[in-house]
Structure 1
Amino acid sequence: MLFVVNLLKSQYGVSVPILKGSFESQIVIVTGRISGLGFEAARHAVRLDAAKVILACRTISKGVEARRLIVESTNKTGVIEVWNLDFPSYASVREFDFNKASTLPRLDVLLENAGISTRRFELSEDNESTMSTNILSTFFLAFLLLPRLKETARKYGGKGLSGRYFDALNDERKANMSTRDAVSKLLEILILRQIVSMHCPPGYPVVLNLVAPGFCRSGLAKEMGVLVHAMYYALDARTAELGGHCLILAAQAG
């Protein structure tokens, strides 16, 4: 009951602020599923005058279709590029950094939207797939691109503020997948705090934010079954468009 009360309070008691500001001259990378929140965040960035928005996704054809829809709705051409990034492949993350992102003249925003929520235990890159995608690959890419973000912030101006732990999570016999998504969210908070304490002293020109867009209608819960999808509508989940607002607000906070 407490969960439902808190959920309703977060959905109805907290409104998403109206987007303001501009991404003029900035380059933005959006990773993950190019539908739902990722799609809307990319569209908002284009609408707010980003110089370049890169859709970093696994399936190029879906990225191309997303680009077409965004161009159609914003009437802005030549802004969006579609690059391949196959989370949770560590090799793909490395290749994305060394052969693609390194060619950019600047990098202002890395919006890591890639993530999964599953009840099915599956290993990927020697770790349970939720950990590989939501934690390891996500923060691996963040570490690789952080120097580029720092360089851009200092040049153009900006404001700033071990594997053994995964053994239990990688044991299928002990896995409780019903709580795995929540565990991954906790780890995101703990890891980001550690990154900030180790690498981001006062005055550091890059802002690192964790985004909680709330209960949104997206493809994230596609494996959760009919009951969960019914709850999405019964509890009036936020639209993906509003969820995209939250992602962009976090990006603009820097």
Structure 2
Amino acid sequence: MSQEFDIKPELGLAVGRFLYSQFFRTPPPPSQSFANQTVIVTGSNVGLGFEAARHFYRLNCAQLILAVRSVSKGETAKEDIVRSVKHRTDADAIQVWPLDLSSTESTLAFADRVKTELPRVDVVVENAGINNTTWVAVENGWEQTIQVNVINTLLLALALLPKLAQTKSEFPDSIPHLAIVSSEVHHFTKFVEANAPDIYARLNDEKAFNGGDRYNVSKLLEVLFVRELVARLNTAATNHSTSTSAPTTSTSTSPVVITLVNPGLCVSQLDRDLPRPLQLVLGLLRLLVGRSTEVGSRTFVHAASAGPASHGQFMSDGQNQDVESWIYSDTGRQVQKKVFDQTLKVLETRRPGLAESVGLTVRV
């Protein structure tokens, strides 16, 4: 494979920033109200998603959707949340809906149900994800980590964006948020797959599979796609405002605040699919360095209420933070556009017209 892009992550800087965050930064407990708001949290029956859902219910959201693979486990999580939040007794404010991101059919069915059954959607936290170091092929031969963490996560995001924008239009006091849970591990990959003519063909080639780097790559793909998505949406909005002679400002006028959120290293269920020896090693690391699940989940709530200055930003510890430095370079801009264009084409095959529905066009 030819070397079109020579990506060199600054590993020392990334490790130093990670350790400083883990030992010297603690996201504050969220206290802002989510009254009248409808909140969706994916992967919310365990771990960070579960604790974030508990926060949203405690902070008085009007409706909470637990989007989970196992409805029975989701119902158990709902019971726990209701039992733990003493000042509320309205268990019917929490609903459990099935969502399996390894299945495109399930992903699109969930998005369609949201559009038809929910009058409004104010917050979507896309937390569901996997970390799998072994090759597993799912639907049509797609490698499972890329299918779940990237393609169908982004498919759901774009499918729900119009509903979030509609909420802003119909409920002007709302500031809808789409928070996609990413990770600082995007700093740690050389992303050699970027040099392939077709990035996803390379990622779905079992012979080229690098299990130790796959999760890192999946999180980098999220970062690159969301950054380019926001940039193109902002350009489209500016062009529309100019063509209609509407006033423009230097700040984001997006109806939806889209963020990438990094919870840090936390005690969680993320390693549950890894080989047992690796689970034990990472489990020890999480105990020594990691945050509690509840502390990590606070970052999701902060992202779900972030101001417009966080639109398109990578958030850590409840604050905006730089992504890996090479992403800001000419190489980074080229890789970002390549990832975005190839990803959007994949998404269009799964739901034709998706790009147009959010104000984008597919570039040939």
Whether the 8 Å CA contact 2:123–2:176 is kept in 1: the answer is no
Instruction: Please give the alpha-carbon distance, in whole angstroms, between the structure 1 residues aligned to 2:136 and 2:52.
Output: 29
Amino acid at match of 2:199: Y
Q: Which residue of 2 aligns with 1:63?
A: 74
Structure with max Cα Rg: 2
- What secondary structure sits across from 1:17 in the alignment? coil
Instruction: Please give the alpha-carbon distance, in whole angstroms, between the structure 2 residues aligned to 1:192 and 1:106.
Output: 23
Q: 1:22 to 1:33 in 2, by over 3 A?
A: closer
Amino acid at match of 2:166: E
Per-residue deviation, 1:4: 5.5
- What secondary structure sits across from 1:218 in the alignment? coil
TM-score, with structure 1 as normaliser: 0.93
- For structure 2, the 5+ residue unaligned runs are 1-10, 178-196, 238-251, 308-364
Per-residue deviation, 1:99: 3.1
Q: 1:82 aligns with which of 65, 71, 96?
A: 96
Q: 1:155 to 1:218 in 2, by over 3 A?
A: same
2:160 matches 1:145: yes
Q: 1:182 aligns with which of 204, 209, 216?
A: 216
Amino acid at match of 1:120: T
- What secondary structure sits across from 1:253 in the alignment? coil
Whether the 8 Å CA contact 2:64–2:94 is kept in 1: the answer is yes
CA deviations over 1:126-148 (Å, ceiling 9, x no partner): 32111100000101001111000
Instruction: Please give the alpha-carbon distance, in whole angstroms, between the structure 1 residues aligned to 2:157 and 2:224.
Output: 15
Q: 1:228 aligns with which of 257, 269, 282?
A: 282
Whether the 8 Å CA contact 2:122–2:175 is kept in 1: the answer is no
- For structure 1, the 5+ residue unaligned runs are none
- What secondary structure sits across from 1:22 in the alignment? coil
Instruction: Please give the alpha-carbon distance, in whole angstroms, between the structure 2 residues aligned to 1:128 and 1:92.
Output: 17
Per-residue deviation, 1:160: 8.2
Per-residue deviation, 1:13: 2.0
Q: Which residue of 2 aligns with 1:95?
A: 109
Whether the 8 Å CA contact 1:160–1:204 is kept in 2: the answer is no
Q: Which residue of 2 aligns with 1:51?
A: 62
Instruction: Please give the alpha-carbon distance, in whole angstroms, between the structure 2 residues aligned to 1:100 and 1:150.
Output: 13
Q: 1:238 aligns with which of 277, 291, 313?
A: 291
Whether the 8 Å CA contact 1:159–1:204 is kept in 2: the answer is no
- What secondary structure sits across from 2:263 in the alignment? coil
Per-residue deviation, 1:245: 0.6
Q: Which residue of 1 aligns with 2:231?
A: 197
TM-score, with structure 2 as normaliser: 0.66
Instruction: Please give the alpha-carbon distance, in whole angstroms, between the structure 1 residues aligned to 2:73 and 2:115.
Output: 20
Instruction: Please give the alpha-carbon distance, in whole angstroms, between the structure 1 residues aligned to 2:65 and 2:151.
Output: 21
Amino acid at match of 2:162: P
**Number of residue pairs aligned between Structure 1 and Structure 2:** 252
Question: RMSD of the alignment, in Å?
Answer: 1.9
Instruction: Please give the alpha-carbon distance, in whole angstroms, between the structure 2 residues aligned to 1:219 and 1:5.
Output: 25
Q: Which residue of 2 aligns with 1:17?
A: 28
Which moves more between the two structures, 124-133 or 48-57?
A: 124-133
